[in-house]
């Protein structure tokens, strides 16, 4: 017999996810939520979603499992190439090399955005001159990002000279995968972080990518998340959102637009 998620159970999950992560789950996502959470019901041998909801309400470890299943983590290397070109041609050459260049991938998923940037930085700077932090609410993607092992077809988007320099083709049990150069991996810091709060512990950055995550938030949450993230941006630093996102409905008096979906902090 199929186990169905009722409308009222879905509303309870909507509220829980909104409170914890800020994601505004639309009604159209009900079936998706039902199917993504089904494996946890089967794991616990529950025969209704309400039993599972009661569990996540009292068990923080299971709440993390639920968040891991609900978040959408699509990403790829050099996604929205214009941004990487801007980074390479306009930002990196103008960086005063006296200080460490710090980059934050603020919704890092499995790390493709962070490693794409790492390759560009490492090509032109000494390894000790740059630092990358990647954060995400999803504990599973952060584990994957720390390992840096991807399906071989993901390498198609990586420019050939960077692929040669930083991607190791897997052999034996890693056939069909590639591994990011261990030197790069060791220079990165991937950690679990929630954009709903100010992440003071990660410090200040020259560049922050907050791409393809604002779409999941309502305007009020967007404002809060952007305000939080901008506290970590140095004056003069750059802030990127996705080419398919905008800041139209929120207030960002400290930013000036410098290219499509690229902003500079001016005060």
Ligand X SMILES: C[S@@+](CC[C@H](N)C(=O)[O-])C[C@H]1O[C@@H](n2cnc3c(N)ncnc32)[C@H](O)[C@@H]1O
Residues that bind ligand X (CB under 6 A): 21-23, 71-75, 79, 107, 109, 113, 136-138, 141, 193-196, 211-213, 216
Residues annotated catalytic, as ranges: 36, 136
Minimum CB distance to ligand X, residue 213 (Å): 4
User: Of 87 and 107, which has the nearer Cβ to ligand X?
Assistant: 107
CB 121, CB 88: distance < 8 Å: no
Q: Give the number of residues written for the chain.
A: 267
Minimum CB distance to ligand X, residue 64 (Å): 11
User: Of 167 and 175, which has the nearer Cβ to ligand X?
Assistant: 167
Minimum CB distance to ligand X, residue 17 (Å): 9
User: Of 175 and 211, which has the nearer Cβ to ligand X?
Assistant: 211
Minimum CB distance to ligand X, residue 19 (Å): 11
CB atoms within 10 A of CB 174: 13
User: Of 48 and 223, which has the nearer Cβ to ligand X?
Assistant: 223
CB 57, CB 16: distance < 8 Å: yes
Distances from the Cα of 262 to the Cα of 20, 143, 230, angstroms? 28, 29, 13
Minimum CB distance to ligand X, residue 255 (Å): 19
CB atoms within 10 A of CB 37: 22
List all residues 6 or more positions away from 172 whose beta carbon is below 8 Å from its beta carbon: none
CA 146 – CA 170 distance, rounded (Å): 17
User: Of 73 and 187, which has the nearer Cβ to ligand X?
Assistant: 73
User: Of 8 and 35, which has the nearer Cβ to ligand X?
Assistant: 35
Q: Where are the alpha helices (DSSP H) in the chain?
A: 7-21, 30-44, 49-58, 60-70, 81-86, 112-124, 139-147, 160-166, 182-186, 219-230
CA 199 – CA 229 distance, rounded (Å): 8
CA 239 – CA 158 distance, rounded (Å): 23
Minimum CB distance to ligand X, residue 83 (Å): 9
CA 138 – CA 70 distance, rounded (Å): 9
CB 244, CB 215: distance < 8 Å: yes
């Amino acid at each position: 017999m199929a186990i169905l998620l009722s409308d009222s159970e879905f509303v309870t999950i909507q509220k829980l996810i909104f409170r914890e992560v800020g994601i505004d789950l639309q009604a159209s996502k009900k079936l998706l939520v039902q199917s993504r959470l089904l494996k946890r019901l089967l794991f616990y041998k529950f025969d209704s979603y309400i039993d599972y909801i009661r569990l996540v309400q009292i068990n923080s470890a299971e709440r993390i499992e639920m968040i891991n299943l609900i978040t959408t983590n699509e990403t790829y290397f050099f996604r929205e190439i214009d941004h990487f070109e801007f980074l390479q041609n306009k930002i990196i050459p103008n960086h005063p090399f006296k200080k460490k260049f710090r980059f934050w991938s603020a919704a890092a998923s499995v790390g493709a955005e962070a490693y794409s940037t790492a390759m560009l930085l490492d090509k032109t700077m000494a390894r000790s001159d740059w630092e990358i932090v990647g954060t995400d609410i999803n504990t599973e993607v952060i584990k994957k990002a720390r390992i840096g092992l991807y399906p071989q077809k993901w390498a198609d988007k990586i420019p050939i000279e960077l692929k040669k320099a930083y991607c190791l083709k897997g052999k034996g049990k890693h056939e069909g995968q590639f591994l990011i150069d261990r030197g790069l991996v060791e220079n990165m810091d991937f950690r679990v972080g929630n954009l709903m709060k100010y992440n003071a512990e990660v410090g200040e950055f020259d560049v922050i990518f907050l791409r393809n995550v604002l779409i999941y938030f309502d305007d009020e949450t967007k404002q809060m998340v952007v305000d939080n993230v901008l506290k970590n941006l140095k004056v003069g630093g750059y802030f990127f959102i996705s080419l398919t996102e905008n800041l139209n409905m929120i207030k960002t008096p400290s930013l000036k637009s410098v290219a499509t979906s690229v902003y500079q902090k001016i005060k």
